[in-house]
Amino acid sequence: MNLKGTITSVLCAFFILLMLNGAASARVEIFDGDIEEGDGYQINNYVIDITDVFVEANTASYYVYEKNTKIETGLLDVNETAEFDFEGEGKLYLRLKSVHGGILPRATVDITLSNFDKSDVYSNKIVDGGHSKASYGIPDLKITKEIDRNTLNVGESVTVTVKATNVGNDVAKDVIFIDPKQEHFVLEATTYEETSVDEIDKGESFLVYIYELKAMEAGDFRLRPITATYKNSVGQSYESGSNTPAVSVEGAGASKANIETAMNVDSRVLERNEKISTTFILKNTGGTTAQAVRLEVQIPEGLEYVSGDEEFEVVGGKPRVYIETLQPGNDKEFGCTLRAKDMGSYTLTGKLSYEYQNGLDSENIKEYEEISVSGISVEKGKYDHLLELPVYVYVIPLLLLAGIGVHFYRKHREYKF
Amino acid sequence: MLNILVIGNGQCGNRILDSINKHAFGGKGGKLVKFYSKQKFNSNVQTIAINTAVNDLKEMKYTRAKDRIHIPHLHGVGANRTIGKQVFEEKKEMVMREIEGRGNFDIAFVITSASGGTGSSFTPRIIKELKERYDYPVYAVVVLPFREEGTLYLQNAAFSLREIRESGVDGIILSDNQYLKNIGGSIQEAYDGINDMIAERILFLVDALDSEMMMVTDLGDFKTVMKGGAGLATIGFYRAEKDMPVKTAIQNALSPSGLLFSTDIYQEASRAMVIIKGDQKYLSIDDISNEIEKLSGAVGHVFKGIVVRKGEGPQVLAVLTLESARELESLYSIAVQAIQHEKEKKLRVQSGMELDKSFSQIEGLEPEY
């Protein structure tokens, strides 16, 4: 009985030892080689810096960082091993095998890992300059722009859904999505919109947009990509772009008038009382006639309207031009002259409005645009300094001249026969 | 302060009067001087220009408009003294009212040419009227014509001078264009030069009569001098450079080149008044006395006056009354010839009426073709 109990105890001890030995043997080799003094070795977000190598003492000192946070320091003798936690359950072992002198002292180390799947090690390498030079996990947002259909008619809508998934190995922080305006379509409705988020964790998905675009013109188009800017956990910046789904729009397109404007001035720096010539060019680059085109010039206080082409009329002190229609491809040019009244820096603004029939809607589409020329600087006039002189400077000579004039007139009368 | 009336009669009188007014402004008297300067008379001097020709009055530049009296009669009297006298008689009250309006005077000068129309005919009558209405002395300054100016002017001068002398005038100061014509330049320049010479002398006299003097001559002395001789007088004048001795200046003033009328003062002068003006440092009393003594020895009484003017060079004015005037005799001889000449011309014209007899031969006839 005692023997049986003894055999059972020995077997139990043997299995325990076997298990322990099995765990020990589960260590995986990460690195075995030389690290120069001042360099480090990175395993994922951990960096082991070899800070000093003491050849005579057969020792080397080390610091261990998780990202930029120091978590461990120590001094190892040759053949001594240090261990510390790695990403939760894992254990990291650092054994100093030998030290070497020279211009750049180095330590030969052996780094192993246990309780950690080696396939999860996405980064392991020597880092020149130690932890401060290490790059850590990289978030990677995969943005998908999906449409509910690829073919539609003019005037019909397509639903666009935008999602982002972090397929990188680090969290994506401070994420901002930018969706550019889409040509040939107009935004008809927005169901969902979340254009920024603090963070998207590894593997996490995020719904950005759900909206409807109404097709305005026929043709084959690609929707423009959504871009996202974000940072990794240590603040490094990254950018991703979405796919560009293809859409085929059939049928007669919606007509659109598009007036492009240009406003020019012949001089941006002028003296007080000088005149400035302003030119406005309106060109209809759209496909349909623009109607009720109205350009109203907003003249700042320091400038005043002097004259303009015959198309100009002044209503309520504001010069404006009104054109019944502006055909596609046509342009019109108007000029007016302004005078600088007061010194200062001014912005000249033109407010444009027009309407057009798009062929789809029953009502006219109204468009508004504002153009401006800023930085018109009015400086002191050539003779302005005279106005700054005190009144007596003018009054006294004028009185003297008047007196002389009266004297001369009286003398002339006195002697005129 | 003396009250002095100066009347310029006719074109010549107007021009001399205008020159007096110009010189009274001082300096060189540019065209604009009247606009910025004042006349520098010591006395209350009233000037009146009288003319029948409005253009002559318009020509004046330095005489106030109110001092120019136009006697309306076409455009002058055309050197015809008979018409001139007639016009004066018609407008006499108008002329005298203008003079009366200027107030009372201590002395009057009437300047005229003896040869023209308006001046030569108006002057004797104005003087006569002044003498009848007022008690102040009236002196005529009479300008004699160039001898070659024409017979009308010569006969006018002869008759006018006689009438002036008979008008009751207190003295006639003669100036002779013929004598002064060697002044040179164009006729206009010669006229202007003579006018300026006469004006300068009269201004000097007017100024001296009312100035404080080191040695005094006054209006009374002037009257006494002018009473001497035959009622005729002339004026000598010299303006010396500053470095010229005063005795030389006196000699030059009394020499023919300094006189307005041709005369030998040492033979013909009766009384004299010599006025010397200038800075005291140029006026040597001994030299002055010596020269005056020499003159006194020849002419009799000489009044002398010295006017001290700081910074001015020596200037000498001599008023000399004449006992006789040979030059006048010569003038009258020529004038008589001129009158004869005019008379003969008139007779010839009258004989030209014989032409009418010739014309009368074809009376009642018509040309036949």
Query: Which residues in chain A are closer than 8 Å to B65, comparing Cβ atoms?
Result: 413-417
Whether the CB-CB separation of B97 and B129 falls below 8 Å is answered with: no
Whether the CB-CB separation of A247 and A147 falls below 8 Å is answered with: yes
Residue of A nearest to B18 (CA): A415
Check: complex ipTM more than 0.95: no
Per-residue pLDDT 10s for chain B (369 aa) are 899 999 999 999 999 999 999 999 986 667 888 888 888 888 999 999 999 999 999 999 999 999 999 998 877 778 889 999 999 999 999 999 999 999 999 999 999 999 989 999 999 999 999 999 999 999 999 999 988 878 889 989 999 999 999 999 999 999 998 888 766 667 777 788 889 999 999 999 998 888 776 666 788 889 999 998 889 999 999 999 878 899 999 999 999 889 999 999 988 899 999 999 999 888 888 999 999 999 999 888 899 999 988 888 899 999 999 998 888 888 888 888 888 888 888 888 777 666 677 778 888 888 888
Decide if A415 and B57 are in contact by the 8 Å CB cutoff: no
Decide if A411 and B62 are in contact by the 8 Å CB cutoff: no
Out of A407, A408, A414, name the one closest to residue B64 (CB).
A414
pLDDT tens per residue across span A237-250:
899 999 999 999 98
Pick the CATH number of A141-250 from 2.60.40.10, 2.40.160.10, 3.40.50.300, 2.40.37.10: 2.60.40.10
Decide if A417 and B57 are in contact by the 8 Å CB cutoff: yes
- Smallest CA-to-CA distance from A349 within A303, A315, A284 is with A303
pLDDT tens per residue across span A359-381:
777 789 999 999 998 889 999 88
CB pairs under 8 A between A and B: 21
Q: Is it true that A141-250 and A259-379 share their CATH fold?
A: yes
How far, in Å, CA of A343 to CA of A382, rounded? 12
Decide if A407 and B35 are in contact by the 8 Å CB cutoff: yes
Q: Which residues pair with A144 in a beta bridge?
A: A163
Query: What are the backbone angles phi and psi of residue B10, rounded to the nearest 5°?
Result: 70, 180
Domain residue spans in chain A? 27-133, 141-250, 259-379, 391-417
Give chain B's domains with CATH numbers: 3-210 (3.40.50.1440), 232-322 (3.30.1330.20)
Q: How far is A395 from chain B (nearest CA, A)?
A: 22
Query: Which residues in chain B are closer than 8 Å to A417, comparing Cβ atoms?
Result: 57-58, 60, 65, 68
The highest-level CATH class for domain A27-133 is mainly beta
Decide if B60 and A417 are in contact by the 8 Å CB cutoff: yes
How far, in Å, CA of B97 to CA of B143, rounded? 26
Is the Cβ of A410 closer than 8 Å to some Cβ of chain B? no
Query: What are the backbone angles phi and psi of residue A212, rounded to the nearest 5°?
Result: -115, 135
- Smallest CA-to-CA distance from B110 within B246, B12, B226 is with B12
Q: How far is B46 from chain A (nearest CA, A)?
A: 15
- Smallest CA-to-CA distance from A320 within A304, A338, A298, A340 is with A298
The highest-level CATH class for domain A259-379 is mainly beta
Give SS3 for A243.
coil
Decide if A417 and B61 are in contact by the 8 Å CB cutoff: no
Residue of B nearest to A416 (CA): B65
